[in-house]
Every structure is written in C-alpha cells, then in structure tokens.
C-alpha cells in the first residue's frame, strides 16, 4: 500500500498496480467487497512528449479506496475486461476524449458509464470544467500546481508525488459530486432527462478517423485545392518523420511553419532542426518536402 503525502494535503493510502497479478487481486477484492460502482479517470499522452497517443494511467476510486493502474505494465486484456464490464458502473466526468483514446489505441469500448458532464450541462453551470464544478458544488479548491500537471509526461516512471495527488483528485470526489448533482436534477425535475442524455453517451461511437484539427481549420478551408493538397502532403511527411524519431510533431516542425512554407514566408533551405531533432532526419524531411514543392 502506498500513500500520498503532500504539504497542505491530506495523507491517504492508495494501491499502485503494475502487474497482472496485482490487478487480478484487485478485481477479486472488489468482488469480495461487492463493489458495483467505481469512479474512474485516465491520463494519457497526446503528442506532447513523444509521438502519438498513449494510454498512460488509470485512476479508480471505489468510494473507500483509491488505486492507480499502470496500463504499460498490466495486460490490456485484463483492462479491457474491466472497462467493458457492463455490470460495473463507472462514474466519469466528460468521458468523450477518454473513450475515443481507448478505442483508437486499444480497441476498448468502455461500458457501464455514468458520465456527470451531461448533468452539469442540463443544470447550466457557467463553468463546466471538473475543477470549477467541484469548487462551485462542494467547495473543493483545486490542488496547487494543477496547471503544471496538465503538461506532465504521464509516461514517466516513477510518477512524481505531485502527479499522483493530481491524478487521484480527479476521481476522489466523483461519488460526492454525483450525489450533489442528482439532488439538483431531482429538485429541478431533470433526472429523467439526464438518464436519457447519459444513455446517449453510451450510444455514441467513440470519435475515430477524424482529420487532424490543423486540417479542419477555417484557414485551411479557405486555401485553394492545390494549396490544400500541398499542405496535406508536407503535413504527412512531417508526421512520418515525427513517428520515425518518436518526437512530438510540433517539435519536428511546428504547424505554423508548415503554413509559412506554403505561403512563402520561409524557405525550406533556411530551416534548421530544433532541440532533440536529429540533423540527418531533419535534412531528409526537408529534402522530401522540397521534392513535393517541384
């Protein structure tokens, strides 16, 4: 058993699960205690520190005990069985991006979801991020340094103690938040409407196959067909080298620079590799882009 121990924060025990044996034991413990509802969240890498999207951490709270599960050390088949279990209710907050990530990267369809975000939307909260909602409803002020851990590298091991506090706080209060929001929904006669909206969350297919946001902007749409084709082509070249070097695409060559190349504000031969980018790979990428320009 581990503990969180941060200045000014409470100290709590949590389970750190980084093997199939520990995860199987954890599930057996849930069954033995007849746990039918848990709060869950996950942390992921989205092209911030390495290339691509990665499922990095699963946080679970059963109302009494917190757990952190390392998906890089636990069999994905075991995690799939847990996340797709229809008999285990999973309280979440704004699960759309998590569901999409799990489906895109692991072909997991999370089931048995009780997503609290539709309740907040029905109740017309002014600020609908989880931290703002917790502060407004339960008076819970976000932990210090929260912004810092929004940029944290969740692929690192061991996890920073502050990152552990940050991750666990995203599930620690979901049971209490659910009770508070359901009382408000009942009071306003919106509970049945919420049930319907939550069912819609489960019915929606996770978003996959969408074009990158960079290629869906109004600026891109306003380009000529020829310029769109060239920008897409150099974008794909950049993606290929970023994947090869396992670097965030923007570190290989920022999106804004791709636009500068298209619009003639910078020349390809004036570009130089950024920090951590192989000179050889960069030169090869620029050469490939130059051939597309001809």
**14-44: pLDDT as tens digits:** 999 999 999 999 999 999 999 999 999 999 9
Residue 198 reports pLDDT greater than 50? yes
Bond prior to 158 in cis (omega within 30° of 0): yes
Rounded mean pLDDT, 108-128: 97
- What would you report as the CA-atom Rg of the chain, rounded to the nearest whole angstrom? 22
How does DSSP classify residue 207?
P
Contact 113, 95 (CB under 8 A): yes
What per-residue confidence (pLDDT) applies to 9? Answer: 45
Q: Cα–Cα distance between 12 and 15 in angstroms, integer? A: 10
Which is more confident, 14 or 206?
A: 14
What pLDDT is attached to residue 1? 74
pTM of this prediction exceeds 0.75: yes
Task: State mean pLDDT over 2-15.
Answer: 63
pLDDT tier at 7, thresholds 50, 70, 90: very low
Can you read off the two tokens belonging to residue 184? Answer: 């408000």
Q: What is the dihedral of CA 286, 289, 291, 294, to 10 degrees?
A: -130
Q: How far is CA 70 from CA 75, 154, 191, 220, 229, in A?
A: 10, 10, 35, 39, 41
The encoded tokens of residue 242 equal 């970023």
> Which residue matches tokens 């709270």?
61
What is the reported pLDDT for 150? Answer: 86
Q: What percent of the chain has pLDDT above 90? A: 83
So what's the pLDDT on residue 209? 64
Q: Is the pLDDT of residue 120 over 50?
A: yes
140 pLDDT more than 60: yes
Residue 60 CB-density burial (10 A; 0-12 exposed, 13-18 middle, 19+ buried) = buried
For residue 8, pLDDT beyond 90: no
Handedness of CA 106, 107, 112, 114 (dihedral sign): positive
Distances (CA, A) of 54 to 43, 51, 58, 161, 245: 9, 9, 12, 21, 16
Q: Is the pLDDT of residue 101 over 60?
A: yes
pLDDT at residue number 207: 66
What are the φ and ψ backbone dihedral angles of 220, each rounded to 5 degrees? -65, -45
């Amino acid at each position: 058993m581990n503990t969180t121990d941060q200045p000014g924060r409470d100290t709590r025990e949590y389970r750190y699960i980084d093997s199939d044996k520990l995860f199987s034991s954890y599930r057996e413990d849930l069954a033995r205690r007849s746990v039918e509802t848990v709060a869950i969240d996950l942390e992921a890498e989205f092209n911030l520190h390495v290339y691509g999207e990665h499922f990095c951490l699963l946080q679970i709270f059963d109302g009494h005990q917190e757990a952190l599960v390392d998906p890089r050390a636990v069999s994905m088949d075991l995690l799939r069985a847990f996340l797709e279990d229809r008999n285990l209710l999973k309280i979440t907050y704004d699960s759309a991006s998590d569901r999409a990530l799990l489906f895109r990267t692991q072909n997991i369809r999370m089931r048995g979801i009780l997503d609290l975000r539709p309740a907040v939307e029905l109740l017309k909260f002014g600020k609908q991020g989880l931290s703002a909602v917790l502060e407004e409803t339960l008076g819970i002020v976000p932990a210090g340094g929260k912004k810092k851990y929004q940029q944290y590298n969740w692929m690192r091991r061991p996890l920073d103690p502050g990152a552990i506090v940050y991750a666990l706080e995203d599930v620690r209060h979901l049971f209490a938040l659910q009770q508070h929001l359901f009382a408000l929904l009942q009071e306003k006669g919106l509970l049945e409407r919420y049930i319907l909206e939550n069912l819609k969350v489960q019915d929606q297919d996770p978003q996959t196959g969408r074009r990158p946001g960079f290629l869906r902007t109004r600026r891109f749409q306003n380009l000529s067909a020829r310029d769109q084709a060239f920008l897409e082509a150099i974008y794909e070249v950049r993606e290929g080298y970023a994947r090869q070097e396992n670097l965030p695409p923007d570190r290989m060559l920022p999106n804004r620079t791709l636009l500068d190349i298209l619009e003639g504000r910078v020349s390809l031969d004036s570009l130089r590799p950024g920090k951590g980018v192989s000179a050889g790979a960069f030169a090869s990428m620029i050469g490939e882009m130059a051939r597309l320009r001809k």
